[in-house]
Amino acid sequence: MESLMAYVVGIMFTAAFYMMLRRSIVKLVIGLMMLSNAANLLIFVVAGMTRGAPPLIPDGASGPVGIVADPLPQALILTAIVIAFGVLAFAVVLIRRAYEVVGTDDLDQMKDTDT
Amino acid sequence: MSPELILPVLIPLTAGALSLSLWRSVRYQRILAVLANALLLWTGIWLLMSTTEHGFITMQMGSWPAPFSIVFVSDVLAAIMIVLTGIIGLAIAIYSLASTPRGHEKFGYYPLMHLLLAGVAGSFLTGDIFNLFVWFEVMLLASFALLTLGGERAQMEGAIKYVTLNLFSSAIFLSAVGLLYGMVGTLNMADIAQKVSQVEDPGMITVVAMMFMVSFGIKAAAFPLFFWLPASYHTPQVAVSALFAGLLTKVGVYALFRMFTLIFTQDVDYTHNILLWAATATMLTGVLGAAAQFEFRRILSFHIVSQIGYMMLGLALYTPLAIIGGVFYIMHHIIVKTNLFLVSGFVYRLLGSYELKDLGSVYKYRPLLAVLFLIPALSLAGIPPLSGFFAKFVIIRAALEAEAYVVTFVALLVGLLTLYSMIKIWAEVFWKKIPDHVHNTEELKGKLNEKHAWAYYVPMVGLAICTLIIGLYGQPIYELAEMSAKQLMNPQLYIEAVLGGNQP
């Protein structure tokens, strides 16, 4: 399972980079979105995947019994998803505004401020 | 309990929230901005005083013991950075009273500024690596909005590059945090620091270290990752430019200092050697880029890049003297660079342009402004007795002691080229006779038609005085840098302060 997920993460990173290297700003944002999702999935895989063992403490015990899933990475991913959502909302507004102001969605024509 | 540790984050956050609730009254938002930033500076000084007294101050959120909770830690370096944040925040808040257009103020300029400062302060104080990521994002989101406030074409083009590269850097950072967590099973920086040495596969730690280096390198604008900076920093309002120039890249530098003195010290030959050459290339490309520019703020933006190189050089040499130099350089640079941007903004107010070819005669009509430019400009180039001289002196001496002669040569050469750029600005903006095609010169020659002209001068004079103090009265400042270097070179102190009795 882990090796399959590793491939999935790798493919997502590759696809994200490919999308970011396209010239259209819409594809750029799609690339950014995939990149943050790939990072989240990476955390999920790297921290270890434990099936069917929720980190619950049974009645009467003072700690979880046996091997349980680590809840922390999921908390991290949840935080990261929320942040990525906010940032993405901003990025979508930004590209729309940029399209209005510049009149094109081609990154190659947005070079006025470059040096 | 030590409230001074949490106040630098709470004050800007509260001020931001209050500012939002005062949305309709720009007047109260302005008063609040100045008050809150003055308060921030005051707590910063309080924090610095109690940190120098106790060595470290730590706080565990929710009173959970150290490796399980999010900790806030202040060592001398973090406290110095908070004081600098306060100084720059106050200077920018006052300067904004005069320079920020009404339209920007009505659309949340002040709340965003407070949020940005909260993010910056949080990044300096947190002792938890994922929390660092969160503070980075707080800071980034506020900076995105500030950068695009106004919505002009150049701002949009600059912002796309700024946003893309910073989000890219965040994604690398997040992946690196995930990989590190997978290996050591903790997020507390002190806990990570003592567990990395026990990891079975040290090569993997180096891989993660390089990911952190790339991520923070993008944020700090190091070679070859700096291209977003000169493409975007000259586009927004000048007060925003000055705030970014002073603080944002330095957060990246601070994170590099923290990571590569505390956690990733197991393979210094490899990691710090890469840092060394990156620093050298950063210095050189930045200064050469500036030499090719003829726009006030673009020149200054490229100089940010080249100065970042000096700070990284201090870290990369990794000797006590070099770290002192690096910390000293950060202190000097934040103040000087912000001041230069403020001067460029006032020149723009007088003549309505940043292009050197449209400017001139400022020395003749505004001699005080010329002096206010000259102090930070000469300091940036490293002319004694200003602050930049001592900062460069310490770093170059450390480089000589480490027998890194090529690097020393480059550092000296870059100092000379910096002087060239500053002289270029001086000759074009201040000495040259005003070009014939410029007609709107009434405000330069006559009285400035501005209700709050004092708000331009107060921050510029204040920051120039800070530069002079660091230069002329450098001993206590140097001692502060020395204390912080001592702590940075002994990560064990940090680990003990954070984990206390929970050590194995």
Contact A91 B230 (CB under 8 A): no
pLDDT score at A115: 62
**Under the phi-then-psi rule, with left for phi > 0, alpha for psi from -120 to 50, and beta for the rest, what region is B434?**
beta
For range B128-155, the mean pLDDT: 91
What are the angstrom distances between the C-alpha of B311 and each of B31, B158, B243, B279, B469? 35, 25, 19, 8, 20
**Does residue B371 sit at the A interface (CB-CB below 8 Å)?**
no
Closest residue in chain B to residue A29, using alpha carbons only: B164
Query: Is residue B134 a contact partner of residue B177, using CB atoms and an 8 Å limit?
Result: no
Find out whether A29 and A95 touch, Cβ atoms under 8 Å: yes
Q: Helix or strand or coil: residue B449? A: coil
| Residue B341 confidence (pLDDT) above 70 | yes
In a domain, B405, yes or no: yes
Nearest CA of chain B to the CA of A114: how many Å? Answer: 5
Any domain includes B482: yes
What CA–CA distance (Å, rounded) separates B440 from B28?
34
pLDDT below 50 — which residues of chain A? none
Confidence category of residue B314, pLDDT binned at 50, 70, 90: very high
Question: Is residue B113 domain-resident?
Answer: no
Neighbours of B433 (CB within 10 A): 8
Supply φ then ψ for residue B6, to 5 degrees.
-100, -20
CA distance B244 to A99: 25
The label of the residue with tokens 């701002």 reads B155
Backbone phi, then psi, for B335, in 5-degree steps?
Answer: -70, -45
| Share of residues in chain B with pLDDT > 70 (%) | 99
- Is the distance from CB of B380 to CB of B335 less than 8 angstroms? no
Query: What's the domain range around B298?
Result: 267-494
Number of domains in chain B: 1
CA B126 to chain centre: 17
Whether residue B153 and residue A112 make contact (CB cut-off 8 A), yes or no, is: yes
Say if the Cβ atoms of B148 and A94 lie within 8 Å. yes
DSSP states along B47-80: HHHHHHHHS-EEEEGGG--GGGS-EEEE-HHHHH
Contact yes or no for B328/B295 (Cβ under 8 A): no
Q: What residues form DSSP beta bridges with B57?
A: B74
Strand partners, B72: B59, B126
B107, B164, B172, B305: best to mutate for the A interface, most A CBs within 10 A: B164
Instruction: Tell me if A113 and B159 make a contact (CB, 8 A cut-off).
Output: no
- Angle at CA B241, nearest 5°, toward B253 and B135? 45
Using CA coordinates, name the residue in chain B closest to A88. B167
Name the β-bridge partners of B71: B60
Residues of A with Cβ-Cβ distance to B296 under 8 angstroms: none
Q: What is the gyration radius of the CA atoms in chain A, in angstroms?
A: 20
Tell me the residue type at B405.
Y
Residue B372, in any domain of the structure: yes
Lowest mean pLDDT among B176-190, B253-267, B489-503: B489-503
**Predicted confidence (pLDDT) per residue in B47-73, tens digit:** 999 999 888 888 888 878 878 888 999
Give B-chain residues touching A107 at CB under 8 angstroms.
160
B188 part of a folded domain:
no
Question: What integer best gives the mean pLDDT of chain B?
Answer: 90
Task: Name the residue type at position B343.
Answer: V
* B153 phi/psi in degrees, rounded to 5: -60, -50
Q: Kindly tell me if the per-residue pLDDT of B448 is higher than 80.
A: no
Query: By CA distance, what is B299's nearest residue in A?
Result: A115
What Å distances lie between residue A87 and A11, A27, A28, CA to CA?
A: 23, 16, 14
Whose structure tokens read 């603080």?
B247
- CA B8, CA B369: separation in Å to the nearest integer? 32
Q: Which of A43, A94, A111 sits opposite B163 (nearest CB)?
A: A94
* B94 pLDDT above the threshold of 90: yes
Residue B504 has pLDDT above 80, yes or no: no
Contacts B178 to A, Cβ<8 Å: 39, 42-43, 46-47, 73, 76
Q: Are strands B71-74 and B57-60 parallel, antiparallel or unpaired?
A: antiparallel
Residues of A whose CB is below 8 A from B160: 25, 28, 94-95, 98, 107, 110
Give the range among B76-90, B108-122, B361-375 with minimum mean pLDDT: B361-375
Three-state SS letters, B220-249: HCCCCCCCHHHHHCCCCCHHHHHHHHHHHH
B16 touching A, CB under 8 A?
no
Residue A69: what pLDDT? 84
Task: Name the β-bridge partners of B295.
Answer: B355
pLDDT surpasses 70 at B501: no
Residue B169 lies in a domain: no
Residues 230-269 of B with CB under 8 A from A: 230-232, 234-235
Nearest CA in chain A to B173: A39
Per DSSP, the three-state class of B219 is helix
What is the rounded average pLDDT of the residues B284-308? 92
Contact A90 B144 (CB under 8 A): yes
Residue B375 lies inside a defined structural domain of this protein? yes
Distance from CA of B142 to the nearest CA of A (A): 10
SS3 A24: strand
Considering only CB atoms, which chain B residues are within 8 Å of A108?
A: none
In a domain, residue B292? The reply is yes
φ, ψ dihedrals at B414, nearest 5°: -65, -35
- 8 Å CB contact of A42 and B144: no
Task: Flag whether residue A79 sits within 8 Å of chain B, measured between CB atoms.
Answer: yes
Distance of residue B295 Cα from the nearest chain A Cα, in angstroms: 11
Contacts of A35 in chain B (CB under 8 A): 167-168, 171
Give the Cβ contact number of residue B191 at 10 Å. 24
pLDDT at B214: 94
Q: Measured between CB atoms, does A110 come within 8 Å of chain B?
A: yes
Q: Provide the shortest C-alpha distance from residue A48 to chain B (in Å).
A: 7
B158 touches A: beta carbon within 8 Å: yes
Which residues 6+ apart lie within 8 Å of B206 measured at CB? B264, B266, B267, B270, B271
Instruction: Tell me: pLDDT of B503 over 90.
Output: no
Handedness of CA B183, B186, B192, B194 (dihedral sign): negative
What pairs with residue B355 in β-bridges? B295
* Cβ-defined contact of A95 to B234 (cutoff 8 Å): no
At what angle are helices A2-21 and A25-46 packed, to 10 degrees?
Answer: 160
Residue B268 confidence class, pLDDT cut points 50, 70, 90: confident
Q: Using alpha carbons, list the distances in angstroms from residue B312 to B79, B255, B256, B269, B424.
A: 20, 11, 8, 15, 26
| CA atoms within 13 Å, Cβ hemisphere of A59 | 0
Q: Which residue of A has its CA nearest to B135?
A: A83
Give me the mean pLDDT over the B305-316 stretch.
Answer: 92
Number of residues in chain B: 504
CB-nearest to B178 from A35, A39, A102 is A39
B1 pLDDT band, cuts 50/70/90, is low
Q: What domains does chain A contain, in order, with CATH numbers?
A: 2-51+71-109 (1.10.287)
The pLDDT score that the predictor gives to residue B502 is 47
